[in-house]
Amino acid sequence: MKEVYRFDSHLLVSGINRLKLLSFPSPLLYLQGLSNELETPIYIKRDDLTELGCGGNKLRKLEYLLAEAKQNEANRIITIGARQSNHARLTAVTAKMMGFDVDLVLKNSVPLDTESYQLNGNLVLDNIVDANIHEIANDGSATTFINNLTKHYETVGDKVYFIPVGGSNTIGGLGYARVVYEIEDQSKDLDVDFKHITLASGSGGTHAGLIAGYEILGKKTFIQAYNVQPDREVILDETKNITEGILNLFDLSMQSQGIEYRLSNDYVGEAYGIPNEQTLQTIKHLAKTEGVFLDPVYTGKAFTGMVEDIKKGRFPKGEPILFIHTGGITGIFGYQNWF
């Protein structure tokens, strides 16, 4: 039996459903120019090209989250994110497709008051699908705001399903445990074996999913995540919790003790949502050498981290590395004046 079927049927038996949003694997490609330049084979998993709503990693999480919302008989989705949240955009698009009403609570957590940051980029797409947008300050009021909003809708008879920031919890993380089978299939076709995977981490769910996925598969793989905001401990705890949550679902809780979590804070820059000069140079360089756009909030920082760590000899020389492109392209248009 194909291993992904075993993964799927285990979850089904446990009462966890998946709503199929994606119908084909995202491309996994070799980056010729950059590999030559760094004398290291570098591949990229184009989850920025996943097929709905301009793509991004949140779609794989939403396959599980929206399935749970349906199962709970919810009719309304509420989620939260930064003003230019890719997660909010993809939640809005896919929830609408599936017939839910959608409320996005968007926090002004990035100190950029340009018109493009406030109104362009993801905001345009959120508005196209008629999501209800609630703008809130970055003053710790989010939980109260969401509780009040939920109560309000419940009193008028709605059933609300809340998705946490980044869609990062055990259920959402399953999307990236499952992607492991897609990566392994594609790497067999390319005749390459990845022991090193790199990615950006924002709320920990993608990182945790990948770690858990390889544990479930039983293949030793180093997952190097690059944090995109200075607070490391909170994200690390979140990552551990989600990893353990997923392993528990597969009765592998014992296995979590030996896991080494790799979350680098070396390339975060000054704050979430603020790229530095090196981030911008990386974005330009990859666009010009490979025709691939990275985003200024997540992948630009993470790709910089991977390249610098290769140069510093932090990856074994000559071993192939797979970078997961988690998306964020539409966010670029919020950063018009930076390029």
Ligand X SMILES: *Cc1c(COP(=O)(O)O)cnc(C)c1O
Please report how the helices 58-71 and 205-217 are oriented relative to each other, as an axis angle in degrees rounded to 10. 90
Amino acid at 188: K
Catalytic residue check, 23: no
Distance between CA atoms of 119 and 117, rounded to whole angstroms?
A: 6
58 C-beta neighbours (distance < 10 Å), count: 33
Dmax (CA) of the chain: 61
Distance between CA atoms of 111 and 224, rounded to whole angstroms?
A: 28
Give whichever of 169 and 186 is closer to ligand X, judged by the CB atom.
169
**Minimum CB separation from ligand X for residue 39, in Å?**
27
The owner of tokens 């049927």 is 9
One DSSP character per residue, 42-62 reads: EEEEEGGG-SSTT--THHHHH
28-30 vs 42-46, strand pairing mode = antiparallel
Give whichever of 138 and 144 is closer to ligand X, judged by the CB atom.
138
Give whichever of 102 and 211 is closer to ligand X, judged by the CB atom.
211
One DSSP character per residue, 55-88 reads: --THHHHHHHHHHHHHHTT--EEEEEEETT-HHH
Give whichever of 87 and 107 is closer to ligand X, judged by the CB atom.
87
Distance between CA atoms of 146 and 78, rounded to whole angstroms?
A: 8
**Minimum CB separation from ligand X for residue 237, in Å?**
13
Binding residues vs ligand X (CB under 6 A) = 56-57, 86-87, 166, 168, 200-207, 295, 298-299, 326-328
**Minimum CB separation from ligand X for residue 223, in Å?**
12
Name the 3-class secondary structure at 109. coil
Give whichever of 221 and 299 is closer to ligand X, judged by the CB atom.
299
Q: Kindly name the residue from 9, 23, 35, 85 that is annotated as catalytic.
A: 85
**Minimum CB separation from ligand X for residue 275, in Å?**
13
**Minimum CB separation from ligand X for residue 172, in Å?**
8
Q: Which residues are catalytic?
A: 85
